Structure 1
Amino acid sequence: MKQRLREWIEQLFPPPISPLPPGVYHWQSPPDAPQPHRMHLRIEPNGEGILILDASTVLHLNQTATEFAYHHIKGTPLDEVVREISKRYRVPKSQVITDFKDFLERLETLLNTPDLDPEIYVDIERHQPYQEPLSAPLRLDCALTYRTEDESIRHVAPVEHVRRELIYEEWQQCLRKAWEAGIPHIIFTGGEPTLRPDLIDLIAFVESLGMVSGLLTTGLRLVEKEYLNRILASGLDHVMIVLDPLNEISWEAIRDVLAADLALTVHLTITPENKTQIQSLIERLARMKVTRMSLSISHPHLGETLQHARDLVARLGMHLVWDLPVPYSHLNPVSLELNATLEAPPQGAGIAWLYVEPDGDVLPFQGATRILGNLLTDPWDIIWERAKQR
């Protein structure tokens, strides 16, 4: 009688489903696979997960989808998956089979879709980005240097408080610390990061750890065929080119990257000098088959022009990337004080991603004056705790 009563109570008030243990799980296809793929799953303390596919797509998964991804990565036999999920969630085994197969089919579709943007969220059951607490950021934006091709404009970057540039071995320590903290995505920016002779080595190091890597650049070095081939071979996953409309080499860099196996975003800064040409510039990029754009303005009075540009990007079927930092350069000569007045920091800044200066100091986002600590010398737990105390 007591057993039947207990079963009846559990049916009315089922106990909460304990989540899988937090952690980072990695899967990579075997070397002889026709198409090489890799997946990273980070399980949060609340049981929800962040799944990164081939360094191309970041998915926020609810608890059930996280468990599907976990079992797929671990290679759990189908009958065991069905038995465990059915028991844990009290659903028919037939429904588990259907849902699991549907999940795998969607993953397969994403894995075989070329050049996905890391910032696109695909319609797998998930929460809206940045609505749930994170155990670590999704991304670090690492400014390797504040040097630019034209050193006469060095003043456009906040160099006055940056003591030095970390050397290669120090960046290795920082990147390994980030990976061990569960951060899956690194973006190299500046200044002009291609001025660092160890950039390609750093990209390869990130690749060896299993992380997603991106590059924000003027793109001028990418027209060098040998350099671009070395970048591709290093494992770089995506690139943003800051377009200089008056420089034909900048347009050539875009054409070369479009022809390569890289997801591309083009950034365009709207200035008083080019505001009347913005429509024709965006239309030219669309004709080149650019599908992702980032926009900013050099002065607050250009806000209306910015909105018209955003509307045009949408009408042309292009995706607007809004959360990538813009490297300091002559195309973006914005002081920290002015930058803070243009727009509020985008949703996710300071928690979903952090910004690392050339000397290792960690900021909540590009242009912030609050230092959370130093990635090289301070424990990650202290930096992250300070970031959460916004």
Structure 2
Amino acid sequence: MSFLARLRDRLSAPQPMSPGLRAYERRDGAGGKVRLHLRVEPDGRGLLVINAARMLHLNQTAVEYARLILEKAPEERAVRDVRRRYRVDVATAQADYRRLKEQIESLIASDGSVCPIHGLNLERIDPFSVSLTAPYRMDLALTYRCNNDCPHCYVARPSDYPEMDTSSWKRVLDRV
């Protein structure tokens, strides 16, 4: 490789992680199962979804830190990898890694008593202020039939409401 090619590679912006969804599992403070999904967008930004209830919007660098944290990479390796890609000093890379790791671990272990915005210094993102390539989550009810016949039923459908056929379900799943 020529000197100019090496220099161009060194000075060009790092390529983002490949887009897609990565799934992880952890245990919370009480031993319960926590599901985490790291969604990487084509531009490198991402979203960490914790138990389909808490969302953490991440920039390109934070996405890479989050992946390393969730894959339980040693701190030294994570800091080294990020330093190589983004040419930052050790102190900055360590501080960023530790701060994000603490935030993720607090959100995983949280019983709801920690406010993620005030207690963890997370930036609040207003709903609909960020464009998405996919919904945060999708809940699909296979049926509303029930044999309990409760008078206080939460299902806001008449009991004879028709169910979707297989081809309709396939269209919904393709769209999601």
TM-score of the aligned structures, taking structure 2 as reference length? 0.69
Q: Counterpart of 1:61?
A: 58
**Alpha-carbon displacement from aligned partner over 1:245-279 (angstroms, at most 9, x marks no partner):** xxxxxxxxxxxxxxxxxxxxxxxxxxxxxxxxxxx
> How far does residue 70 in structure 1 lie from its aligned partner after superposition?
0.9
> How far does residue 86 in structure 1 lie from its aligned partner after superposition?
1.0
> How far does residue 4 in structure 1 lie from its aligned partner after superposition?
8.2
- Structure 1 position 24 matched with structure 2 position 44: no
Structure 1 vs Structure 2 CA RMSD: 4.0
Question: Quick check: 2:107–2:116 contact (8 Å CA) kept in 1?
Answer: no
Q: Counterpart of 1:328?
A: 156
Q: Counterpart of 1:196?
A: 146
- Structure 1 position 136 matched with structure 2 position 86: no
> How far does residue 43 in structure 1 lie from its aligned partner after superposition?
1.4
> How far does residue 96 in structure 1 lie from its aligned partner after superposition?
0.8
Unaligned runs of 5+ residues in structure 1 are 145-165, 168-192, 198-217, 222-241, 243-326, 330-356, 362-372, 385-390
Q: Counterpart of 2:164?
A: 359
Q: Counterpart of 2:105?
A: 108
Instruction: State how far apart, in whole Å, the 1-side matches of 2:53 and 2:3 are.
Output: 51
Name the SS of the counterpart of 2:69 in structure 1.
Answer: helix
**Structure-2 change in CA distance of 1:30 and 1:81 (3 Å):** same
Q: Which has the larger radius of gyration?
A: 1
> Which of the numbers 36, 41, 52 marks the counterpart of 2:38?
41
Whichever residue aligns with residue 146 of structure 2, its letter is R
TM-score of the aligned structures, taking structure 1 as reference length? 0.35
Question: Quick check: 1:24–1:43 contact (8 Å CA) kept in 2?
Answer: yes
Question: Quick check: 1:48–1:66 contact (8 Å CA) kept in 2?
Answer: yes
- Structure 1 position 90 matched with structure 2 position 87: yes
Correspondence 1:125-274 to 2 at 5 A: 129-142=127-140, 144=141, 196=146, 220=152
**Structure-2 change in CA distance of 1:377 and 1:127 (3 Å):** same
> How far does residue 85 in structure 1 lie from its aligned partner after superposition?
0.6
Identical aligned pairs, as a percentage?
27
> How far does residue 136 in structure 1 lie from its aligned partner after superposition?
2.1
Instruction: State how far apart, in whole Å, the 2-side matches of 1:60 and 1:41 are.
Output: 10
Q: Is the helix fraction higher in 1 or 2?
A: 1
